Structure 1
Amino acid sequence: MIRWISALVGLAFVFVVSLGLFSSIVGVITDPAPPTAEHFVHEEHPLLDAGLPSSGLLGKFDLRQVQRGFQVYKEVCAACHSLRHVAFRDLKEIGYDEGQVKAIAAAWVVEQPSVNPETGEPATRKNTPADHFPLVYANDVAARAANNNAVPPDLSLMTKARHDGPDYIYSLVGHGYVPQPKELLAKFPDAATPKGLHYNQYFANLNIAMPPPLTSAGQVEYLDGTKPTVDQMAKDVAAFLTWTAEPNLDARHGAGLAVLGFLLIFCFLAWGAYQNVWRDLKH
């Protein structure tokens, strides 16, 4: 008797859940959600393709481009955004030698927090290659106070934290800051950008606290002589942030090719063994 009651209770539960699911599906079909300004803009302006050499299954970093991107980060982005998961010594992987890394670390604007051994008072010291990039702000309270109540995100893993991360960075900083279209305001009157924010057609809700970081060509003077257009600087900083998020990308792609090669050889050997073992039993 108890089994029958349990079965009936289970069937009733399944029926109620199925009915709710069916009602939800019917509601979505018959009464879809009204379009929003964000969906309208993002459908009209999909992310641009950065075309980075690191993209794709066989992609590899262009170290010169990554170095240029580091230069853009250092001169433009580092005033607000940290790289908490990257150490100065990691810069060797993009082509800097030990002396250059030491010089970069020692000259970095933000120093490492420390304690005066004589007085016990808080102090700072010069960065060393073993240190991680120091935080720009001591905490979120200080960050909000300096940025109109907005906290600049850490950029170490930004290209992993956003869908199509390299393309997102490239589109956002290089081509996203445009005048808000009048037709958008005519269609969505409530979509006007609030005071203190900036319209960006690639940002999630179209209104971003960060002012345009790349404002004009020549903002950064590249050491290798590359022409520093806004588009080029946006591509280069996207390449650098792709590297910070996945510095072992080249090795991972190389390992993937080796595994594929092994699997192909293994399949060929397995097929040959099959043909040899079963050749006398085939009719």
Structure 2
Amino acid sequence: MVRLLAIGAGLLFTFVVMISFVADAYNAATTEAEESPEYAFHLEARAPEGGWSFTGPIGTWDIGQLQRGYKVYKEVCSACHGLKYVAFRNLADLGYTENQVRAEAATWQVPGIDPATGEAVMRAAEPTDYFPSPYPNDVAAAAANNNAIPPDLSLITKARHHGTDYVYSLLAGYQPIPAELTEEFPDFRTPEGLYFNPYFAYLNIAMAPPLTSTGQVTFDDGTEATIPQMSEDVTAFLTWAAEPTLVKRKQTGWPVLIFLVFATVLAWMAKRQIWSAVKPAKRKD
């Protein structure tokens, strides 16, 4: 009797779940989506006009671009965002020599311990140190940024949909509110402390435009530092920071694929050779 009651309860529960699922599916299919500013004016992320050098099966890093991107990060982005999973020694991958890496690391300050007193102090970074956060903790970060904690950028291009394209579009996409938006949605506003960006899902973002004018950064190779150019370069640098072995992985993949194809052909030929003298048994009906 108890077993029958348990089976009946299970069947009843399954029936209720199925009815709820069918009802929700029907409502979703027949109810028109409510038009909203976020739905109507949100733009999909896009790559720069020339694309990215590191995409595709044979993509490579543009070392000059990575060096420019690092300079944009250092002079602009590092004021609010950390890079805690990247060590200064990794800058050697950007074409810097060992002495240049050591000198560059020394321009940063990281937390340390005074060997004489044991007190916490700030010291010049060494190649083995990691890029420091600009804030001691999340409370300080929120207090300095209108209660919005700036995310660490180490993995930002891996943590966002359309990662690399999204970061580029967001940085280069700040603009005034389009007249079409206010005409269609008169109640839409950008609250004080927020900024309009159509590439952000909610249109209004807490991060102020970090790149505001041409020449904000001076590139060593003479490239003109326009807002799109700086956005592209720092995005490429952040893509490298998130996956520094991206290009090496692609370069390793091709020999592996070629070897697998070659091994498959050899295995097929060996199979043909071994079984060539074996005649199939005659079938008896």
> What is the TM-score normalised by the length of structure 2?
0.91
Q: Map of 1:1-283 to 2, 5 A cutoff? A: 3-42=3-42, 45-50=43-48, 51-108=51-108, 111-174=109-172, 176-280=173-277, 281=279
SS of the residue 1:215 aligns to: coil
The one-letter code matched in structure 1 to 2:22 is: F
How far apart in 2 are the matches of 1:122 and 1:271? 67
SS of the equivalent of 1:16 reads helix
- The one-letter amino acid of 2:162's match is D
CA distance in structure 2 between the aligned counterparts of 1:41 and 1:257, rounded to whole angstroms: 42
Paired residues in the alignment total 278
| Separation (CA, whole Å) in 2 of partners of 1:153 and 1:118 | 35
The CA distance in 1 between the partners of 2:275 and 2:20, in whole Å, is: 56
Stretch of structure 1 that moved more, 1-10 or 149-158: 1-10
Q: CA offset at residue 195 of structure 1? A: 0.9
Shift of 1:5: 4.1
Aligned counterparts of 1:142 and 1:149: Cα–Cα separation in 2: 9
Distance 1:186 1:271 in 2: 68
| Displacement of 1:243 | 0.4
Instruction: Provide the C-alpha distance between the structure 2 equivalents of 1:92 and 1:118, rounded to a whole number of angstroms.
Output: 33
Q: Which amino acid aligns with 1:274?
A: K
SS, match of residue 231 in structure 1: helix
Partner SS, residue 91 of structure 1: helix
- The amino acid that maps onto 1:26 is Y
5+ residue gaps, structure 2, are none
Q: Relative to structure 2, which stretch is displaced further, 69-78 or 207-216?
A: 207-216
- Kindly provide the CA deviation profile for residues 9-44 of structure 1, in whole angstroms up to 9, marking residues without a partner as x: 3332222111111011001012244132222122xx
CA–CA separation in structure 2 for the residues paired with 1:120 and 1:97: 33
Q: CA deviation at 1:135?
A: 1.2
Q: Partner of 2:166: helix, strand, or coil?
A: helix
Equivalent residue letter for 1:239: A
Distance in 2 of aligned mates of 1:115 and 1:268: 61
RMSD over aligned CA atoms reads 1.9
More helix by share: 1
Residues in 2 aligned to 1:117 and 1:49: alpha-carbon distance in whole angstroms = 49
Identical counterparts, % of pairs? 51
Alpha-carbon distance between aligned partners in 2 of 1:139 and 1:72, rounded to the nearest angstrom: 24
Secondary structure (helix, strand or coil) at the match of 2:158 reads: helix
**Could you tell me how far apart the structure 2 residues matched to 1:143 and 1:236 are?**
26
Q: 1:3 to 1:259 in 2, by over 3 A?
A: farther
Inter-partner Cα distance in structure 1 for 2:190 and 2:219: 34
Distance 2:27 2:97 in 1: 62
SS at match of 2:84: coil
| Residue type at the aligned position of 1:153 | P
Over residues 58-95 of structure 1, what are the superposed CA-to-partner deviations in whole Å (9 max), with x where a residue is unaligned?
A: 22211111111101111111111111111111100111
SS at match of 1:159: coil
Deviates more, 1:20-29 or 1:117-126: 117-126
Distance in 2 between the 1:258 and 1:40 partners?
A: 47
Cα deviation, 1:91-134, whole Å, max 9, x if unaligned, reads 001111111111111112xx222233434433211111111011
Gaps of 5+ in 1: none
Q: TM-score, normalised by structure 1?
A: 0.91
Which segment drifts farther, 203-212 or 117-126? 117-126
CA deviations on 1:254-278 (whole Å, 9 max, x unpaired) are 2222222122113222332333344
SS in 1 for 2:128: coil
Tell which structure's C-alpha radius of gyration is larger: 2
